[in-house]
Amino acid sequence: MCAAPSDHQRTHPSAVHDDGGLLEAERDIESRLRGEPLDFASMLAVSNIYRAATAVRRQAERELLSRAGLSWGGFTILWVLWIWGEMETARLAAECGLAKGTLTGMLSTLEKQDLVVRRRMAADRRRVRVSLTELGEQTISELFPRFNAFEGEMTDGLSVDQKTDMARLLRVVITNATAD
The per-residue pLDDT for range 67-102, each reduced to its tens digit, is 999 999 999 999 999 999 999 999 999 999 999 999
CA separation for the pair 3, 43 (Å, rounded): 15
Task: Please report, for the domain that includes residue 75, its CATH number.
Answer: 1.10.10.10
Are 30 and 92 in the same domain?
A: no
With respect to residue 178, please indicate whether it lies within any of the assigned structural domains.
no
The per-residue pLDDT for range 27-78, each reduced to its tens digit, is 888 888 888 888 888 988 998 899 899 999 999 999 999 999 999 999 999 9
Are 50 and 106 in the same domain?
A: no
Instruction: Return the ∠ at Cα 47 (arms to 60 and 152), rounded to 5°.
Output: 30
Are 50 and 93 in the same domain?
A: no
pLDDT of residue 20: 52
Are 92 and 152 in the same domain?
A: yes
Are 60 and 92 in the same domain?
A: no
With respect to residue 165, please indicate whether it lies within any of the assigned structural domains.
no
With respect to residue 177, please indicate whether it lies within any of the assigned structural domains.
no
Tell me, yes or no, if the pTM score tops 0.95.
no
**Domain region containing 103:** 69-158
Pick the closest to residue 76 from 17, 147, 159, 175 (CA basis).
147
